[in-house]
Structure 1
């Protein structure tokens, strides 16, 4: 019997990095996501196959049940397999039925966005596995991949959210965010995927005392959500960029890449890769394409 599960991708609009320390983060689930399709098989083995959005296979392996139970680790050439085993091992400890009530599985994942976009390849897999095994996706993330969990919240919700860790527990609040100016918002792919784990490690190396910064970011996040005009929205996001630039000791995306852009550029998620958000009165697509950034997606095309 075939079982299919689906999870949404994500974009973090405010609170990047600081969400790890309890700041309120504003995040948007995307129209893009990932399917997980499971069929029973034999041999006490999982045949895992992952498909990119163009139908190509980007990962395939056979994983023994015994490797999952022992949390076996292979050399770095099988890094994706190692990560998958780690996730499946933790899932097994949370629900042993994964292995004790099966003879094997054929599993395929199907992205509806190009893997390089960084909209949540890992988080959507973790949430899909959690749905399948009826376990807590936030706990599975914590035990395996790590991170704040905002991406899991996006995977599970079909509307904008406010996300916060309170006493290390996720608190998710749905937000009514349908501004009149959403036609002025575009998302631009920076032609490279950022390594979230490495970015988080860099943040912890620099963040020092950030209590004051959290208070500022929470205030900015409130201003972003409650903005009534494009100008108010842009000013709030600009203030956010300045605050994070100071903490991370990095130039903003606008300073580094688009200093002549007539509008606001907001970094999203891990600075330095994946997407930025642009806010401008005119359609900026041609501007970005002339700069070599071909993938420009409107708010309505991207966001649920």
Structure 2
């Protein structure tokens, strides 16, 4: 009954979830990883989440906790596109918001330094916090939207980003690692899930569009131990954190810290299981098993479900 009330109260999250997984989530007693992301959206109000969600504020956490991890050089940050110092900006650089994922404008050379194009890009999202409002991700909703302009990292000038390594830290320990190469948003790069010993996990990825087959067979990164140690220090403050790194010639760059991966709308799925409707949740539950969800009393959950809290 409690889960039914939560599903009614947070119907917008349930609709999004059902569109991907064709089933209702268990938000009252979550077991799968994706369910625990939704549970965090509803119940977790740890102020640290807002720091993780801010690409500017999170720089300080990384510098203090994992100094061996770098960031792209910050060229400018602010709220007013008219104050962007175009006269001093030297490409290549990227323009993006500080509190959203997936929105990046690449400016690779001087001919692409078009002030109107860049200002128009910023104005499209500057006054909209979609992660916080529409996706229900509380941490992002606490962050004032700003424009971030960073130096483009080596290897990305041609349009293909470096190897992207996402470490899933649950209970202070790396439980899984997702490795990918290729352009943003494509499906042809080399990808795979691995455990902390770089043994490939028998998982593909399930999205709104169905299964994405992951090839695997990726050599062990030479600095894997350094990545794991850094990610575990960064994730030690919270039950779960995904730490995203670029590995460029053995040097690590942090690209994002996120407490809400894919907003809970993507999941691992076992390779040897057929596509069904709804899809299997075995791998989703395996990944979620190591995420220790804090105890929340029945009265608090009921208050949330009834809209009193």
Common fold, TM-score beyond 0.5?
no
Going by fraction, where is helix more abundant, 1 or 2? 1
TM class, shorter-length: under 0.3
TM-score (norm 2): 0.27
**TM-score, normalised with respect to structure 1:** 0.27
